[in-house]
Amino acid sequence: GQLEDLMTIEDFERESEKNTEPKIWRYVSHGAGIGQTLKRNCEYFQRYLFRPRVMRDVSQLDMGTTLLGEHINSPICVGVTTAQDKMHVDAELATAKASRAHRTCMVVSTWSSVSMDDVATVEGLKWFQIHPFHHREETTRRLVTRAENCGYKAIVLTIDSRVVGREFGRLMSSGGFGFTPLHELPNLKEFGKIEYHDPSASWEYVDWLKTITNLPIVIKGILTAESANEAIQHGADGIIVSNQGARHLDGMVASIEALPEVAKAINGRCEVYLDSGIRRGTDIIKALALGARAVFVGRPILWGLACGGEAGVDRVLTLLEDELSNAMALCGVAKVADIDNSLVRHDTRPHV
Ligand code: FNR
């Protein structure tokens, strides 16, 4: 079949455009502004070059690792995204099944098109993602309690889109192309029509969150040593180095560009992950070498979903795993714990 003909994530990107409504595809695949950071997220990986180890036994490769103590088969995780029902009718259920088959972790959005309880009926490691919502007692507390009760293993708090980017806002409010109004989304129905984003929230929100749940808190959207230190001071159990796939603010540093500074500041005090721009196995090995424990993949999962539902997501994950294991073997590392800083160096050539 057709899925087997898609050999790279770029093939999935091209193919998914054919079976997706143009405005939806734009919402999924484009970035903010002139797309400077969108491009930089992917291209900056090229600035790191491998220093491979030779004559190592790579006959048995093991990509397994742990996320906050839970075993996963590879450091390739399913990032949090919305509009999954616009990619495929099975939406999050398809993604969750593929994630389960690969024994990895999936992050489910508050704005998911299938309710968090229904996604949780598919076995497998899952985290639930929230924003610092207004009316925290009525909204956030209830969402977190529900997530806890249906078996989510961590809460991911997204802190980098306190207001939405301008193009994003325009696209969302232009209507007429099938986005479900927020108050009709399955996780939010019970709250009625309310204003969600609380632009006044500060780190105090995280302190409060720590008092209402025993689940680990993962802070998503850190790009600097300063905010990494703040996250630790407020009890973060993990952080995701991310610029949200450059969807809101253009002109930010690439995520992989920010990783060394953040990893250095954290210095082992909590787990560090990365998302934004992961498109191939070599990107993943570079992220691990620069201090990430695992990576989360956003758009490629949606493109896979659009190309073939569960089978499409499965194929995307298989492709990235195959590329990662191949790159590991060629770099002379047999297990992910052996991937360290000595495996890459920064390209010193001047760039245009
Ligand atoms: C996202 N992302 C996102 N992040 C988040 O914290 N909450 C959310 O609801 C969403 N929704 C969302 C929808 C869509 C369509 C996309 C493409 C992305 C951001 C996502 O989790 C992740 O940070 C980026 O997608 C990672 O970049 P790549 O892998 O897409 O380059």
Cβ within 8 Å of residue 14, ≥6 positions away: none
Residue of 41, 239, 247, 253 to mutate, ligand 1, most atoms within 8 A of C-beta: 247
Angle between helices 9-18 and 299-331 (to 10 degrees): 160
pLDDT tens, 50-75?
A: 999 999 999 999 999 999 999 999 99
R_g of the chain, CA atoms, integer Å: 19
Residue 57, sorted as left (phi over 0), alpha (psi -120 to 50) or beta, turns out to be beta
pLDDT band at 7 (very low <50, low <70, confident <90, very high): very high
Residue 193 or residue 213, greater confidence: 213
349: confidence class by pLDDT, cuts 50, 70, 90: confident
327 pLDDT tier (thresholds 50, 70, 90): very high
Q: What percent of the chain has a predicted confidence (pLDDT) above 70?
A: 96
Q: How far is the CA of 168 from the centre of ligand 1 (A)?
A: 12
Using the predicted structure, report yes or no on whether residue 352 has a pLDDT greater than 70: no
Spatial distance between the Cα atoms of 341 and 287, rounded to a whole number of angstroms: 10
Average pLDDT of the segment spanning 35-45: 97
CA distance 160 to 243: 7
Please enumerate in sequence order all residues whose Cβ is within 8 A of that of 234, keeping only pairs 6 or more positions apart, or say none.
203, 206, 207, 210
**Cβ of 234 less than 6 Å from ligand 1:** no
Cα 179 to the center of its chain, rounded Å: 21
**pTM (predicted TM-score):** 0.97
If you measure from the C-alpha of residue 244 to the centroid of ligand 1, how many angstroms do you get, rounded to a whole number?
5
For ligand 1, whether the C-beta of 41 sits within 6 Å is yes
**Interface predicted TM-score (ipTM):** 0.99
Under DSSP, is residue 88 helix (H, G, I), strand (E, B) or coil?
A: coil
For residue range 330-345, list pLDDT tens digits in order: 999 999 999 999 999 9
How far apart are alpha carbons 48 and 86 in whole angstroms?
36
* Beta carbons of 263 and 46 less than 8 angstroms apart: no
Residue 254 pLDDT more than 90?
Answer: yes
How far apart (Å, rounded) are the C-alpha atoms in residues 352 and 349? Answer: 10
Please state, rounded to an integer, the average pLDDT across all residues of the chain: 94
- From the number of C-beta atoms within 10 Å of its C-beta (0-12, 13-18, 19+), residue 3 rates as middle
Which residue, among 210, 213, 215, 252, has the nearest Cα to 232 in the 3D structure?
A: 210
Q: State how far the Cα of 193 lies from the Cα of 342, in Å rounded to an integer.
A: 52
Do 215 and 155 meet the contact criterion of CB atoms below 8 Å apart?
yes
Q: How far apart are CA 322 and CA 316, in angstroms?
A: 10
CB-based burial of residue 285 (10 Å sphere; 0-12 exposed, 13-18 middle, 19+ buried)?
buried
For residue 184, give the nearest of 253, 112, 134 by alpha carbon: 112
Among protein residues, the one whose CA lies closest to atom 18 of ligand 1:
81
Three-class SS state of 49: strand
pLDDT tier for residue 175 given thresholds of 50, 70 and 90: low
Is the shortest distance between the CB of 82 and ligand 1 below 6 Å? yes
Assess whether the C-beta atom of 242 lies below 6 angstroms from ligand 1. yes
Q: Is the CB of 65 under 6 A from ligand 1?
A: no
280 lines ligand 1 (CB under 6 A): no
What token pair was written down for 9? 């994530």
pLDDT at res. 178: 65
Q: How far apart are CA 86 and CA 63, in angstroms?
A: 32
Tens-place pLDDT, residues 114-126: 999 999 999 999 9
189-193, 217-221, 337-341: segment of lowest average pLDDT = 189-193
DSSP-derived 3-state class of residue 12:
helix
**Atom nearest to 299 CA in ligand 1:** 30
Query: Does the pLDDT value for residue 161 go beyond 80?
Result: no
From first CA to last CA, the distance across the chain in angstroms is 41
Q: 142: CA distance to ligand 1 center in Å?
A: 23
What is the pLDDT averaged over residues 192-212? 91
Task: For residue 242, give both structure tokens.
Answer: 């991310």
Q: Is the pLDDT of residue 199 over 90?
A: no
Mean pLDDT to the nearest integer, 4-19: 96
Dist. CA 48–CA 67, nearest whole Å? 25
Q: What is the 3-state secondary structure (H, E, C) of 236-254?
A: CCEEEECCHHHCCCCCCCC
What would the mean pLDDT of 132-145 be, rounded to a whole number?
95
28 C-alpha to center of ligand 1: Å? 8
79-107 pLDDT, tens digit per residue, is 999 999 999 999 999 999 999 999 999 99
Between CA 245 and CA 265 the distance in angstroms is 22
Q: Which of 57-61, 65-69, 170-174, 175-179 is the least confident region? A: 175-179
Would the CB of 132 count as within 6 Å of ligand 1? no
In tens, the pLDDT along 258-305 reads 999 999 999 999 999 999 999 999 999 999 999 999 999 999 999 999
Please work out whether the CB of residue 31 comes within 6 Å of at least one atom of ligand 1.
no
pLDDT exceeds cutoff 80 at 176: no
Name which residue sits closest to atom 23 of ligand 1, judged by CA: 244
- Output the CA 245–ligand 1 centroid distance in Å: 6
What's the rounded Cα separation, in Å, for the pair 289 and 206? 29
CA dihedral 196, 169, 25, 193 (to 10 degrees): 30
Tokens, residue 159 = 């802190």
Pick the more confident residue, 248 or 294. Answer: 294
